Structure 1
């Protein structure tokens, strides 16, 4: 018999699914603050999974976590969508596939440039 430690937030039905498969698991109901921290970690986990395996199911997992975080912060999905649309109107979407490579401030002479996987600033 072997066991694995996970230490992460899971969907409500996951313990039942694990037990129905013939395995056992232990879960803990966290207080609001600890669960909030766990959900922020879960968001990164889901984003990492999407980056590894881009698919609709992983995007849905990200949205489920975002929706729960909104609820925990006292926002509704309607409010989230309103803010998303407002930002889209003010700053645009990602429809044009733009990639910012460089900003040159002609007044200060500071150049902020992207090089490979790091940010380089010179003055």
Structure 2
């Protein structure tokens, strides 16, 4: 996979509009498909890191950012939200979820 310049970052679609409203003129370009996928993966890491650093008050917003990136990655892979949920449900049915808070420490 090709690596891209660290100059710039993937931002939400309305960010340029918000910057203009604040009186500045953003410099942007549209990533090609390969760069977009790479930058989405980077963005996922960034958003997960922000969630891990968040306090209880800001955690829901940060978690929503993670979900937004996950949905964008799924769409890029041709998976719609319903398909993604069905895949999650099937995996939860086969292997369980995390509600029981089980911590595995190895085998005997």
TM range (shorter): 0.7 to 0.9
Q: Does 1:79 align with 2:88?
A: no
Please list, as runs of the form range in 1=range in 2, the aligned pairs for 1:29-68 lying within 5 A after superposition: 29-54=30-55, 55-68=59-72
CA distance in 1, matches of 2:24, 2:53: 27
RMSD: 1.5
> Across the two proteins, how many residue pairs are aligned to each other?
100
Is there any run of 5+ residues in structure 2 with no aligned partner, and where? 1-5
Q: TM-score, normalised by structure 1?
A: 0.75
Greater strand fraction, Structure 1 or Structure 2: 1
Asked which structure has the greater CA Rg, the reply is: 1
Q: Does 1:93 align with 2:97?
A: yes
Q: Structure 1 runs of 4+ off > 4 angstroms?
A: none
Greater helix fraction, Structure 1 or Structure 2: 2
After superposition, give the CA deviation of every residue in 1:57-90 in whole Å (9 maximum; x if it has no partner).
Answer: 1111111111111110011111100010011111
CA distance in 2, matches of 1:75, 1:57: 24
Say which SS state the counterpart of residue 66 (structure 1) adopts: helix
Q: TM-score, normalised by structure 2?
A: 0.85
CA distance in 2, matches of 1:99, 1:39: 30
